[in-house]
Amino acid sequence: MIFEKHMRKYYKKYFVLYIIGIISLIAVDVAQLFIPEFLGDIVNILTDKPADAASQISRIIIWIIAIAIIMFAGRMLWRFALFNASIRIEAGMRHEMFQKATRLSQKYYHENKVGSIMSWFTTDLEQIEEYCGFGTVTIVDAFFLGLLVIIRMVKLDWILSLIAFVPMILIVVWGFLIEKYMSIKWRERQEQFDKLYDFTQETFTGIRVIKAFVKETAELHAFAKIARKNKDTNVSFARISVLFDVLIELIIAAIMSLVLGVGGYVVYRFATGEAMIIFNHTVELNAGGLVAFISYFDTLIWPLIAMGSIVAMRSRAKTSLKRVAEFLDTEEDIANVDNPHVLKDVKGKITFKNLTFAYPDAKDVNYLKNVSFEIEPGEKIGIIGKIGCGKTTLVNSLLRLYNVPKGSIFIDDHDLMECDIKSVRDAIGYVPQDNFLFSDKITNNIAFSDRKKDAVAVRNAAKFADVDDNIINFKDGYDTISGERGVTLSGGQKQRISIARAYIKDAPIMIMDDSVSAVDVKTEETILKNISEKRNGKTTIVIASRVSTVAHLDKILVLNNGEVEAFDTPKNLLNISETYKKMVYLQELEKEVEGGAI
C-alpha cells in the first residue's frame, strides 16, 4: 500500500473491508497449500500400492473437493471486499477532486489546460484504483503465500530449497533497481497523455473554426505528431516493463529446470538406496516428496511474478498519486476568511471604494484604477466604455472570482472580502459574456440555479428574455437539447436563454455582461422593458456596447482605461463625459447611415 496523506483516510474508512479481504486471502493461501501435500500422498500411495489404496485416495479426493469449495468461497469474499474497497477509494478521490476543482479560482484554469486535468480524473485515478485493489492482492499473496510455501519447501528439504531460493534473490534485487526508473518512464508517459488530451479537447472545441479556415489537414498532421510522440513514450515504457517480466520469467524457468534436474537425480539416488549427501546433509526425497516439492514451487511462481508486477504497478500508482496529490494540495486563493459574514436579506446596495485591481498573472498592470461609485438598492445601472476598459473585470471582482483589496467593495455595507463566498454568489444572478449553455434540455439550462422550478416558472423566465416564441417552435420545445455549449442554438437564442437562467434565480442583484449584443433592437427593447417592470426594486447592472441599451436606465457608469470617467444619469452624462457624448454621436451617425440619410 501507499501510505500517502491523501490515502490514509480511505484506508481508515474502508479498514473493515480490507481486513475481511486480507483474512480471506490468507485463508485461501493456507488452504491451497494442502493440495501439493495431497498430490504427493497420492503418488506415494500409487507407488507403494497398499491394500486400502482406493479408500485412501477416495478420502484424499474428498479433502481436495472440500478445500476447493473453501478456496472458491474465500476468493469470492476477498474479491468482493478488496475490489469493492478500491473502487470506493477511486470514487471518493474523484469526488474529492471534483469538489476541489469547483473551489479553484479562474487563475488555476488559465494556467492548466482542461485536457491535463481530465487525465488526472481518468487514467491516474484508474492506476490508483488498480493498486489499491489488485495491488493489495499481489502484495499479500507475494508475502504470505510466498512465506508459507517457502516454509513447506524447507520442511521437505532445506538443501533443495536453498538451491531454488538463491536465484530468487535476483528478482528482488532487480525489482528495487528498476522501480525508480519505471516511475520516471511512467510520468513521461502520463505527461504525453496530458498533451494528447489537451490537443484533442482544444481541437473538438474549435472544430468550427478549423473547418471555416479549411485547416483539417494541418490539424491532422499536428495530431499525428503528438500521437507519434505518445506512441514512442508508451513503447519505451512497455519495453522496460516487458524486459522486466521476461527476465523474471527466465529466472523462474531456470529455477524450475534446476529443481527438476537436481530433484530428479535425488529421487533416483533415493530409489537406488544411495542417499545423496550435500554439505554433510543427507537428502532423502521420494517420488511423492518431489511431486509435492515441485507443486509447492509451482505455487510459488505466482508470488514471484507478483513481486515483479508489483514493482511496475507501484511505480505507476506512486507517480499517478503524486500528480493527483499536487492537484489536491493546490492552494485555494479564493477562500473564506475565518468566521465570514453570511449575507441575508440582501437589499442590493453596492459600494466601490478606490478599487485598484490587477490580475494575479499580470500584477504589473492595473486593469482597474481607483474605482469609486455607489449603487443604491433597486437601481438599474448601465456600464459602458471602450473594449478592454475593465467592464467585465469590474463585475468579476463583485462576483468574488478574484481577490480584491479589503475595504474596496461592499454589499449592503459589508466588506466583500469578509463575506461568505457562497452567500455572495447566491445573491447575484449572472449572465456571462460567453453565454455558456450545458448540453442538456433547454428547461434544465434555464432552471440551472434550482431544478425544482416548475414549468410555469421556466416559461415565465423565457418570456422575460423574449425567447419563449423561439423555444415553442422547436420540435421538442423546452425539451430540446441545446448541444455542447449550445451549439444547436443561434447566438441570440443562447444570450436570451442565459438571461432567462439568471432571471429565474430571482436574486436581489442581477448582472448582465453585454448580454443583448446578439439580438435585434426590438428584442432588446422588450428585454429592457421587462427588466424595468419585473425587476422593480431590485438592483440590476447592465454592461453594454451600445448606448441605446443603457440609455433608459437610472444611471450609467462610464469607464475609460480602467478608471471612472463619470457616473450619473444619461441626461447629465451628455454634459460631463466626453466618452459618452462620443458614443452617442457615433450611434446617431450609424442610425443615419442605416436609414440612408447620408
Q: How confident is the model at residue 331 (pLDDT cuts 50, 70, 90)?
A: confident
Domains in the chain: boundaries? 5-328, 341-427+510-517+541-598, 432-506
The amino acid present at 571, given as its one-letter code, is K
Phi, psi for 90 (deg, rounded to 5): -60, -45
At residue 152, the 3 state secondary structure works out as helix
The domain 432-506 is placed in CATH, from the list 3.40.50.300, 1.10.287.4070, 2.40.50.180, 3.40.47.40, at 3.40.50.300
Q: Write down the H helix ranges in 104-215.
A: 106-111, 114-119, 125-130, 136-140, 146-156, 158-205, 207-212
Residue 511 Cα distances to 107, 238, 399, angstroms: 22, 54, 10
Q: Which three cell numbers stand for residue 242?
A: 516487458
The amino acid present at 126, given as its one-letter code, is E
Among 324, 385, 393, 387, smallest CA distance to 359 is for 393
What span, in angstroms and rounded, lies between the C-alpha atoms of 42 and 47? 8
Are the C-beta atoms of residues 70 and 27 closer than 8 Å to each other?
A: yes
The yes-or-no verdict on residue 408 having pLDDT over 90 is yes
So what's the pLDDT on residue 366?
Answer: 85
Q: How confident is the model at residue 595 (pLDDT cuts 50, 70, 90)?
A: low
Contacts of 301 (CB under 8 A, 6+ apart): 252, 256
So what's the pLDDT on residue 294?
Answer: 79
Digit-coded pLDDT (tens) for 48-69: 777 778 888 888 889 889 989 9
Long-range contact set of residues 153-158: C-beta below 8 Å, sequence gap at least 24: 153/293, 153/296, 153/297, 153/300, 156/285, 156/289, 156/292, 156/293, 156/296, 157/266, 157/283, 157/284, 157/285, 157/289, 157/293, 158/281
Mean pLDDT to the nearest integer, 540-557? 88
Q: How confident is the model at residue 347 (pLDDT cuts 50, 70, 90)?
A: very high
What span, in angstroms and rounded, lies between the C-alpha atoms of 14 and 374? 54
Long-range contact set of residues 587-595: C-beta below 8 Å, sequence gap at least 24: 587/546, 587/547, 587/548
So what's the pLDDT on residue 598?
Answer: 41
Measured from the Cβ of residue 329, the count of other Cβ atoms closer than 10 Å reads 10
Fold of 341-427+510-517+541-598: Rossmann fold (3.40.50)
Are the C-beta atoms of residues 22 and 136 closer than 8 Å to each other?
A: yes
Helix 216-271 × helix 287-328 angle, to 10°: 150
What span, in angstroms and rounded, lies between the C-alpha atoms of 308 and 248? 7
Mean pLDDT to the nearest integer, 421-443? 87
Highest mean pLDDT among 55-59, 280-284, 374-378, 390-394: 374-378
Evaluate if pTM is beyond 0.85. Answer: no
Are the C-beta atoms of residues 355 and 404 closer than 8 Å to each other?
A: yes
Q: How confident is the model at residue 418 (pLDDT cuts 50, 70, 90)?
A: very high
Same fold? 341-427+510-517+541-598, 432-506? yes
Chain mean pLDDT for the chain = 84
The yes-or-no verdict on residue 122 having pLDDT over 80 is yes
Digit-coded pLDDT (tens) for 70-120: 999 999 999 999 999 999 999 999 999 999 988 888 778 777 777 778 888
Mean pLDDT to the nearest integer, 562-576? 89
Percent with pLDDT over 90 in the chain: 23
At residue 137, the 3 state secondary structure works out as helix
Mean pLDDT to the nearest integer, 149-168? 74
> What are the beta bridge partners of residue 283?
276
Contacts of 442 (CB under 8 A, 6+ apart): 471, 474, 478, 479, 480, 482, 497
So what's the pLDDT on residue 597?
Answer: 46
What span, in angstroms and rounded, lies between the C-alpha atoms of 492 and 550? 18
Mean pLDDT to the nearest integer, 306-320? 78
Mean pLDDT to the nearest integer, 267-288? 71
Q: Which three cell numbers stand for residue 218?
A: 494541418
Q: Which three cell numbers stand for residue 411?
A: 454589499
So what's the pLDDT on residue 593?
Answer: 63
Long-range contact set of residues 242-248: C-beta below 8 Å, sequence gap at least 24: 244/174, 244/175, 244/178, 244/182, 244/308, 244/311, 244/312, 245/305, 245/308, 245/309, 247/174, 248/171, 248/174, 248/304, 248/305, 248/307, 248/308
Contacts of 58 (CB under 8 A, 6+ apart): none
Q: Which three cell numbers stand for residue 117?
A: 486535468
Q: What is the 3-state secondary structure (H, E, C) of 238-299?
A: HHHHHHHHHHHHHHHHHHHHHHHHHHHHHHHHHHCCCCEEECCEEECCCHHHHHHHHHHHHH
Are the C-beta atoms of residues 478 and 455 closer than 8 Å to each other?
A: yes
Are the C-beta atoms of residues 554 and 381 closer than 8 Å to each other?
A: yes
So what's the pLDDT on residue 118?
Answer: 82
Are the C-beta atoms of residues 406 and 415 closer than 8 Å to each other?
A: yes
The yes-or-no verdict on residue 377 having pLDDT over 80 is yes
CA atoms within 13 Å, Cβ hemisphere of 164: 29
Please tell me which residue, 101 or 304, carries the higher pLDDT value: 101
Digit-coded pLDDT (tens) for 173-216: 766 667 667 777 777 877 787 788 778 877 877 776 787 777 88
What span, in angstroms and rounded, lies between the C-alpha atoms of 428 and 146? 63
The yes-or-no verdict on residue 171 having pLDDT over 80 is no
The yes-or-no verdict on residue 232 having pLDDT over 80 is yes
So what's the pLDDT on residue 509?
Answer: 93
Q: Which three cell numbers stand for residue 140?
A: 499479500
Percent with pLDDT over 70 in the chain: 93
What span, in angstroms and rounded, lies between the C-alpha atoms of 119 and 114? 9
What span, in angstroms and rounded, lies between the C-alpha atoms of 450 and 445? 10
Please tell me which residue, 366 or 19, carries the higher pLDDT value: 19
Mean pLDDT to the nearest integer, 485-503? 84
509-513 and 276-278 beta bridge pairing: unpaired
Q: What superfamily in CATH does domain 5-328 come from?
A: ABC transporter type 1, transmembrane domain (1.20.1560.10)
Among 495, 507, 593, smallest CA distance to 545 is for 495
The yes-or-no verdict on residue 594 having pLDDT over 70 is no
Residue 563 Cα distances to 368, 381, 555, angstroms: 6, 17, 17
For 9, the enclosing helix (H) or strand (E) is helix 5-13
Please tell me which residue, 373 or 170, carries the higher pLDDT value: 373
